[in-house]
Structure 1
Amino acid sequence: ITQHKNAVATIQEITNLLLLKGSIGKKGAGICPVRGHSNVQGDRSMGIFHLPTEQLTNRLRTVFGFDPPLAAGYDVVASIKAMHQKKAKVFFALGGNFLSAAPDTNFTAQALQNCDLTVHVSTKLNRSHLVHGKTALILPCLGRTDKDMQATGQQFVTTENSMGVVQSSKGILEPLSSKMMSEPAIICHLAHSVLKNKSSIEWLKLADNYDEIRNLIAKSVSGFEDMNEKVRADNGFELYNGPRKAQFNTTTGKAMFTINASEPIILKENEFLMMTIRSHDQFNTTIYGLNDRYRGVFNERRIVFMNENDIVNQGLKQYDIVDLCSFYNGIQRKAEKFIIVSYQIPQGNVATYFPETNTLVPIDSYADKSHTPTSKSVIVKLSKVGRYDKLSREKILTNV
């Protein structure tokens, strides 16, 4: 839902419908959005946002004794553009595979290569490490499943799940090397080395004992008071959620409906609306195998799923090889050699695996208001370039 131009309007209309039904603020009902993974919602709770609130900046000023920047930062799309224009010169990634996850792969690659410095704090190697700035660093770090031993003993971190519950997470595996540092330790040591006497924060003390970090969070972030005590409860603690309790922080004290305009997508002749999808054995850009058993596809990822009628109408056949092209603002983007597989998908639509077709997602095509790339609403055309041989065809639909 989020990866369309009308994404925000669509979500607000879903909310309107649930409000009309009385499905907000009572047990067993609600929107229940999947707000992300890899602790991304916890990141937002900690203030990792390009539009910081006045409440957060005021608390940071009070607790840490410095004036935080108040100007808006860059979201993902704006960050890529800033690097491409050489306005942003340093890219520092705490995990992730930015190049493969981002839209418009070739544009993003050039943006990264324009940087003076690119740094990746990573648990394993990935494609982004190969496309980098003038100077590039890879800082290996512990994973969340690894034991994290610091000066005061083994540490734990906290995560926030999609339901707004904060819980502790403690690793059990032996690290691959005694020299590997945790993400918090890397950040603390970098800050200590760079800032030296310019900061009143005892960075190395924070690295020695993560409770000290949580004490500062408790002072800085609303809803995390007494964090160290609450997170040690068996099931952690639940963050405040007003609508869940039928409490609405509005001028009227009631839920507010929204009025939304939705811009239709009009396809021309021989155009299709492409969505990018993940396979069963895939987590984001990490592909664990070639076994998409729910869709009955095996041993291949350069696939384009099409409605059977669309295949016939285009004069194509299953297992034909096609190139995919998208056109946006006068720019053509191309992804070569994809195999047609007939699938029960609505006519006029096609589906391809992510991230293989991210190169077709235009950097300037994103959702209104949220600026999320439109990875599930890309207009494409197909052109036949060949035919898959019989032996290879059999492997696609056979788990061998």
Structure 2
Amino acid sequence: MNASQNGQDGRVPHVGPDPRGEPEFHPYHHPAAGWGAAKSVSRFLVRERALVDGPRAIMRMNHENTGFDCPGCAWPDDTKGLHLDICENGIKHVTWEMTGKRVGREFFAAHSVTELSGWSDYDLEDQGRLTEPMAYDPESDHYVPVSWREAFELAGRTLRELDDPGQASFYTSGRLGNEATFLYQLLARELGTNNLPDCSNMCHEASGRALTASLGTGKGTADLKDWETTDALFVLGVNAASNAPRMLTALAEAYHRGAQIVHINPLVEAAATRTIVPHDFTDMAVLKSTRTSTLNLQPRIGGDMALLRGMAKAILEQSGTDPKALDQEFIDRHTAYFDKYRAVCEATPWDAIELQSGVSRDGILKAARVYRDADRSIISWCLGVSQHEHGVDTVREIVNLLLLRGNLGREGAGPSPVRGHSNVQGNRTCGIDHRPDEKFLDRLAEVCGIDPPREHGMDTVATIRAMHRGDVKVFVGMGGNFALAAPDTPYTYAALRNCDLTVQVSTKLNRSHLVHGRRALILPCLGRTEKDHQRGGVQSTSVEDSMSMVHLSVGMKRPASKHLLSEPAVIAGIARAALPDSATPWEWYIEDYDRIRDTMARVLDGFEDCNRRVRLPLGFRIKQPARELVFLTPSGLAEFSAAPLPDVIPEPGTLALGTMRSHDQWNTTIYSDNDRYRGIKNLRTLVFMNEDDMRERGISEFTPVEIVSTAKDGSHRSLDGYLAIPYDIPRGCAAGYMPEMNVLCAIGDYSVQSDQPLMKHVKVTIEPSGHGT
């Protein structure tokens, strides 16, 4: 099986733990969360020996201003004082961080990089927390301990000696707090580059660009109170039970008050059926489940835009006889280009809509009827919408549909993207953007006394390609596991290995430490759960959730090692070494993070007076101009778009494959080889297929298959020996797990609209293994 080969060849080794039994598949028919989640958490706490720290963390996680923010998803914290605002995957994520296992100099002395490259990614992370800075020694092929001073000097000297600052790239994942984020972008820009790729480039870049084009803001306008009062929820391309489990509470509450809930996804996930909310003790006691949907529609992969266009077409057709179908007053006062949009809807035939969406006209009309009958509607979406060639057009179509009935600027209505990582939205707010606007750069120059570069920098895909060419020589990874998260795994591996220096700021050992440059540093940092002691006392950091609420996070636990530094301190150390003559008070900032926030308040729109406001109950919400019907667009109005429908029909003999996470997984971190909500046990190297597609290819359940992708440039990539699983998924579609399947997504297969890798729409053929030999 190619996916289990040694990682030196660029393929992904087996990611999960060694299977403890034969692969099993039993269709899941139970409510999401409930006792299944409770049992899973209990087993996990026992396995990780966290029966004391785990419950302590549960009682502190997501408690406003007194606890720490869950380092998992970005779903907003409860606004009504809920004491158990937690979920199964959040508890696992925190427990994984709080492990008592340690990875110190003795471990690295005993294991070479070549040996570790053959370990599974589960086994790498399962070794525990990193404890001290390490540098790669090419002569011995081992990481060896270095002092923080030596590590900073190596990083700083390498950055200073670059011929051009653009030869460095500074990546960040969504776990970085706002204060560290601000310092990180300040370091890069004072050095002289806007090369600030981040995980948004692979996830929600399309959403930000679409919302900016339509509304003048890159964020959603709806908040949790809107979810609590809306009449209809439309949830597209979201697997809430695994990726934003606390959303289940909002869905259950919406159903109880009579709201309509429409899920639109190629797979009917557990979150789109029923749930038992764990903190509802009565329901738990009597095993009472609540429905989380009133309608499920299954478009083909990439068919969301056609389905949305069909809903809009239906509303426009109804407006001929029903004057209340459209909010004409809102359209006339607050929007532009409506006539062009009406014309493109009228010109799009129903048979094309049905063909491209994969949903019948009757099904689309049912969704349109829900939307027409609701006074207030929210449309929410995640990566199932954004990771496509036409992701920007699809999100703009979401906005089009909302504008038709004035679902903007009022309670219970609006666009609501679901960000997947705890502070990824805060990263962008606080300056992690390879395409910064002039207004931000002007304020940064004025307040911080630097001359920031004006030329746009490189995003994730551009950085990988530049490393591969040798144009980027230093890669700094602030959190995350870049080597596994990125597309085209062999290409990405080769790119990283072509660097002069790679620097990874991390809490646990992962693949990115083994796929490194000619020189490499591992710099261990504090986790979100740990106390951050600085000269000014124990520090707090701020984070922004998916709905623009900014609040404080304060660690509760003694650091895993006395040698760990906070993320802001690591950044400041690199900055001082790279910029020895800098007038920026790096050390002064680290003594007290309030000083960082005071500077942020002068630079960032929406952060005014943030040191006071962030300490208010629930923190503060960054103002969204579009929420107030202020549109920072060229026209000064909300702008309809009129894009043609894309052709998403697979060519004969091919399938559209989407990559996704399993339930027992968080990003590239794997907790087990099980996927409870999809009925999978002891298996990750699989592909979900429609039964008719399987039968047509002579494939049965658990048949080993070869998956071959064809890139835009005609090149091929393959995985062999994966097991086929029959699943309720539309014909012509298939699905499987990232990061293993990232191998199939070519580096050149990215959207021209968003520059995002096409992780949710890979063109593949699937045949029984050995079929072509």
TM-score by length of 2: 0.49
CA displacement at 1:340 relative to structure 2: 0.5
Q: Helix, strand or coil for the counterpart of 1:218?
A: helix
> Which region of structure 1 is more displaced relative to structure 2, 89-98 or 18-27?
18-27
Alignment map for 1:3-82 (pairs within 5 Å): 3-82=387-466
Paired AA for residue 563 in structure 2: K
The residue aligned with 2:524 is 140
The residue aligned with 1:126 is 510
Paired AA for residue 701 in structure 2: Q
Alignment map for 1:315-326 (pairs within 5 Å): 315-326=698-709
The residue aligned with 1:111 is 495
Tell me whether 1:165 sits opposite 2:532 in the alignment: no
Paired AA for residue 299 in structure 1: N
Alignment map for 1:294-313 (pairs within 5 Å): 294-313=677-696
CA displacement at 1:36 relative to structure 2: 3.6
Paired AA for residue 285 in structure 1: T
CA displacement at 1:2 relative to structure 2: 0.6
Paired AA for residue 78 in structure 1: A
The residue aligned with 1:262 is 645
User: Per-residue displacement from partner, 1:356-377 (whole Å, max 9, x unpaired)?
Assistant: 1100001111123211111010
Aligned residues: 386
The residue aligned with 2:289 is none
Tell me whether 1:377 sits opposite 2:761 in the alignment: yes
CA distance in 2, matches of 1:154, 1:345: 50
The residue aligned with 1:186 is 570
The residue aligned with 1:289 is 672
Alignment map for 1:331-346 (pairs within 5 Å): 331-346=715-730
- Return the match for 1:279 from 638, 662, 681: 662
Greater relative contact order, per chain length (Cα 8 Å cut-off, separation 6+):
2
Tell me whether 1:227 sits opposite 2:614 in the alignment: no
CA displacement at 1:152 relative to structure 2: 1.1
The residue aligned with 2:584 is 201
Q: Helix, strand or coil for the counterpart of 2:763?
A: strand
Q: Is the 8 A contact 2:664 2:674 kept in 1?
A: yes
Q: Is the 8 A contact 2:699 2:767 kept in 1?
A: no
Paired AA for residue 199 in structure 1: S
Paired AA for residue 575 in structure 2: A
CA distance in 2, matches of 1:373, 1:140: 29
User: Per-residue displacement from partner, 1:264-298 (whole Å, max 9, x unpaired)?
Assistant: 13422321100001111111111112221111011
The residue aligned with 1:392 is none
Q: Is the 8 A contact 1:152 1:209 kept in 2?
A: yes
Q: Helix, strand or coil for the counterpart of 1:273?
A: strand
User: Per-residue displacement from partner, 1:111-162 (whole Å, max 9, x unpaired)?
Assistant: 1011000000001111111111000100010011111001111001110000
The residue aligned with 2:736 is 352
Q: Is the 8 A contact 2:481 2:511 kept in 1?
A: yes
Q: Is the 8 A contact 1:91 1:118 kept in 2?
A: yes
Q: Return closer, same or farther for 1:137/1:65 CA change in 2, 3 Å cut-off.
A: same
Paired AA for residue 265 in structure 1: V
CA distance in 2, matches of 1:190, 1:373: 30
Q: Is the 8 A contact 1:281 1:287 kept in 2?
A: yes
CA distance in 2, matches of 1:89, 1:253: 42
Q: Helix, strand or coil for the counterpart of 1:323?
A: strand
Paired AA for residue 625 in structure 2: G
User: Per-residue displacement from partner, 1:19-69 (whole Å, max 9, x unpaired)?
Assistant: 102211111111111134131110110111111110111111111222101
Unaligned runs of 5+ in 2: 1-384
CA distance in 1, matches of 2:635, 2:524: 51
Q: Is the 8 A contact 1:26 1:246 kept in 2?
A: no
- Whose helix proportion is higher, 1 or 2? 2
Q: Helix, strand or coil for the counterpart of 1:52?
A: coil
Q: Is the 8 A contact 2:422 2:544 kept in 1?
A: no
Q: Is the 8 A contact 2:697 2:767 kept in 1?
A: no
- Whose strand proportion is higher, 1 or 2? 1
Superposition RMSD on alpha carbons, in Å?
A: 1.4
Q: Is the 8 A contact 1:324 1:381 kept in 2?
A: yes
CA distance in 2, matches of 1:293, 1:34: 22
Percent identity over the alignment is 47
Paired AA for residue 202 in structure 1: P
Paired AA for residue 100 in structure 1: L
Paired AA for residue 742 in structure 2: N
The residue aligned with 2:64 is none
Q: Is the 8 A contact 2:390 2:753 kept in 1?
A: no
Q: Helix, strand or coil for the counterpart of 1:22?
A: coil
CA distance in 1, matches of 2:585, 2:401: 50
Q: Helix, strand or coil for the counterpart of 2:570?
A: helix
Q: Is the 8 A contact 1:318 1:341 kept in 2?
A: yes
CA distance in 2, matches of 1:204, 1:254: 45
CA distance in 1, matches of 2:653, 2:579: 58
Q: Helix, strand or coil for the counterpart of 1:199?
A: coil
Q: Is the 8 A contact 1:129 1:138 kept in 2?
A: yes
Q: Is the 8 A contact 1:326 1:332 kept in 2?
A: yes
CA displacement at 1:253 relative to structure 2: 4.3
Q: Return closer, same or farther for 1:126/1:351 CA change in 2, 3 Å cut-off.
A: same
Q: Is the 8 A contact 1:8 1:368 kept in 2?
A: no
Q: Helix, strand or coil for the counterpart of 1:32?
A: strand
Q: Is the 8 A contact 1:144 1:171 kept in 2?
A: yes
The residue aligned with 1:364 is 748
TM-score by length of 1: 0.94
Q: Is the 8 A contact 1:270 1:314 kept in 2?
A: no
CA displacement at 1:262 relative to structure 2: 3.4
CA distance in 1, matches of 2:507, 2:464: 23
